[in-house]
Amino acid sequence: MKLALSSSSEFFSLAVYNSQDLMLTNCGFFTKKLQKWSISSVENLLKTVEMSLKDLTIIAVDTGPGKFTGLRVGVAMAKTMAFALGIDMVEACSLDIIRSDVPALMPVIVAMDGKQNRVFTKVYNANGTTGEVLDIEPGKLKYMIEAEGLHHYTMVGDGFKNYSELQGYPINEIDYFFYPKAWHMHKVWSEPKNKLEVDARYYRKTQAEERRK
Amino acid sequence: MKILGIETSCDETSVAVVEDGKKILSNIIYSQVPLHKEFSGVVPELASRKHLEIILPLIKDALMEANLTLNDVDAISVTQEPGLMGSLLVGLTVAKTLAYITKKPLIPVNHINAHLYAANLEYDIPFPFIGLIVSGGHTLLTVWKNWLDYKILGTTIDDAVGEAFDKVAKLMNLGYPGGPIIDKLFKKGDANSINFPLVMLNKNNDRYNFSYSGLKTAVVYYMQRNENYVVEDVAASFQKKAIDVLFKKTKLLSEDLNINNIVIAGGVAANSYLREVFHHSKMSVFIPSIKLCTDNAAMVGGLAYHLYQNQEIDYTSLDAVDKIITPQIKRNLRKEN
């Protein structure tokens, strides 16, 4: 049995898989009290599927990019669970998780709100090639979309909702498409890894490091 | 009873196992000082990232050094307050998850109180005692009836003493952290060469309070007026006054309350002049060894033993608290005094 956890956005989600089959999910919007909610949610989720911690064989975690604090709480919890249970982990990129929500053949641009007037973005082409994860200002992403003629791509992620520069593109208005969700992680997660090798991926230096630069 | 302690309140990641509040089975400390050095101070976001990266390997090492497995420990303890919010959250999340998985009790510990407890790991501290906590974030005078019952009687109204050391070191481009650097220069300089003020705040409501901004400003003015100042003399004269005021206020409180036992804790307790001046007094002074003066998890696991009273704490309701002394509390303290 696998437990998947995503907390890189304001939408926190958990999912329990039996092999590759999704059994149950738990989710919600949380801001400040993420930490209080997360442990009790795991407890409730396992109780509901009548499983115990001993049944877990893999912990899957969204390693970002995204909100730094949410990411850290989620990754710390997932790594500690794997450590204490002596099991392996798999990880998934938050942008890949969002993209996996859209049919595979469609070209997609994912932009997650990275706060500080920046978005984490990645371009997924119809032929399966992808760009790098970028941490850029919304205006620069707009310029990139215009310059490279990417208007016809499907735009997903809360970056397209939260920044005026990126509004106006045809996006799905349902919140469902804006955030990474634990129940999509199995489509994009990595091969099993040692939990001590898994860490949050920030894709951004701290403000102090940026000032120094 | 073996307790696993976790400390991540600032820029040291530490994990320890302590038996019955006394015997240190392991105490591993990872200092992030080299990481923050180039910024002349702790960068909270960098500190949180590093805590997350290394906490699990440290837990593994601490258990290995204690020759134990996670199942062998009887409880998990963690610094809950005060400290940098992001850093506290990493330790607290790890501790809560460990407690959840292992079904062991979780004991939240106050970082400041744990610092004082560090002395009890090496001595048998008699009650009541006066606790002086001196670090980069705090300058507190406290009185203790037992490990669960204490009162804060004095605090700083502006900078903490360790913060003043860091700022003065920065003014003279000496590097970070300022305390150990200034302490080294103290031994080479003439501590009586510059007459910096001894800031006693003599008003009644500030009887046990401290202020370091005036002393810091005096250093700034001196440096501006004396372009060719002698670094060693400035450092030595500053350190003398910064420590003298700690001694005088502690002595004052000792005489007022007729309590002769003094426990000193926190990073500044490693200062050589502080140790000398207090040990040469007539008070009965307990200062932990240098290794236990800095942030460490042994003090957390040790104090947790006394806090644990066979009552299970609901670990899901715990949250990190970044500050213990809020401006409001400071104001109230001043009114009460």
The per-residue DSSP string of B273-294 comes to: HHHHHHHTSSSEEE---HHHHS
> Global pTM?
0.91
Q: What pLDDT score was predicted for residue B127?
A: 97
Residues contacting A29, CB < 8 A, separation 6+? A10, A11, A12
DSSP B136: S
Contact B130, B142 (CB under 8 A): yes
CB burial of B59-93 (b: ≥16 within 10 Å; e: otherwise) equals beebbeebebebeebebbbbbbbbbbbbbbbbbbb
pLDDT greater at residue B328 or residue B84: B84
Facing B319 at nearest CB: one of A36, A80, A196: A36
- Comparison of pLDDT for B205 and A53, the residue scoring more: A53
Q: What is the pLDDT of residue B137?
A: 87
Q: Please tell me the predicted confidence (pLDDT) of residue A36.
A: 59
Q: Which residues pair with B312 in a beta bridge?
A: none
Whole-Å CA distances, A149 to A75, A142, A143, A152? 37, 10, 10, 8
- Of all residues in chain B, what percent carry a pLDDT higher than 90? 82
Search chain A and give the residue with CA nearest B57.
A196
pLDDT at B36 over 80: yes
Q: What mean pLDDT value characterizes chain B? A: 91
Q: Which residues of chain B have a CB within 8 Å of the CB of A202? A: 49
**pLDDT-above-70 percentage for chain B:** 92
- Give pLDDT, residue A213: 67
A198 touching B (Cβ < 8 Å): no
| Residue A133 reports pLDDT greater than 90 | yes
Q: Which residues of chain A neighbour B97 with C-beta distances below 8 Å? A: 39, 76-77, 80-81, 84
pLDDT at B331: 45
Distance CA A114, CA A112 (A): 6
Tens digits of per-residue pLDDT, A142-196? Answer: 999 999 999 889 899 999 989 999 988 776 555 557 899 999 999 999 999 888 8
The predicted complex's ipTM stands at: 0.94
In this prediction, residue B329 carries a pLDDT of 43
A200–B52 C-beta distance less than 8 A: yes
* Of B59 and A48, the one with more pLDDT: B59
Give chain B's largest Cα–Cα span: 63
Q: What is the chain A residue with the closest CA to B58?
A: A196
Question: What is the C-alpha R_g of chain A?
Answer: 17
Burial class (CB in 10 A: 0-12, 13-18, 19+), B300: buried
**C-alpha–C-alpha distance, residues A165 and A141, integer Å:** 9
CB contact (8 A) between residue A196 and residue B55 = no
CA distance B100 to chain A (A): 8
Residue B41 Cα distances to B33, B127, B157, B267, angstroms: 9, 36, 21, 15
Of A43, A75, A2, give the one whose Cα is nearest residue B55: A75
Could you give the C-alpha distances from B56 to A69, B19, B91, in angstroms and in order?
18, 21, 10
Looking at residue A152, the DSSP 8-state letter turns out to be: T
pLDDT for the residue numbered B324: 54
β-pairing verdict for B284-286 and A134-136: unpaired
Instruction: Find the radius of gyration of the CA atoms of chain B.
Output: 20
Contact A53 B101 (CB under 8 A): yes
Placement of tokens 């952290």 in the chain:
B177
pLDDT of B337 > 50? The answer is no
**pLDDT grade for B176, boundaries at 50, 70 and 90:** confident
pLDDT digits (tens, 9 = 90+) for B284-296: 999 999 999 989 9
Residues 14-73 of A with CB under 8 A from B: 33, 35-36, 39-40, 42-43, 53, 68-69, 72-73
Higher per-residue pLDDT: B275 or B177: B275
At residue B87, the 3 state secondary structure works out as helix
| B262 and A CB contact within 8 Å | no
Place of tokens 């090492």: B61
Taking each helix axis as running N to C, give the angle between helix B272-279 and helix B178-186, from 0 to 180 degrees, rounded to the nearest 10: 60
Q: Which of A38, A30, A32 is nearest to A10 (CA)?
A: A30
A-B Cβ pairs (cutoff 8 Å, strict): 85
Q: Cβ distance B293 to B270 under 8 Å?
A: yes
Cα separation values, B124 from A27, A162, B1, B3, B61, Å: 50, 59, 18, 19, 28
B210 secondary structure, DSSP code: B
Surface of B (7-66) touching A: CB under 8 A: 38-39, 43, 45-46, 48-49, 52-53, 55-57, 59-60
pLDDT tens, position by position, B299-329: 999 999 999 875 556 666 677 766 654 334 4
**pLDDT band for position B332 (50/70/90)?**
very low
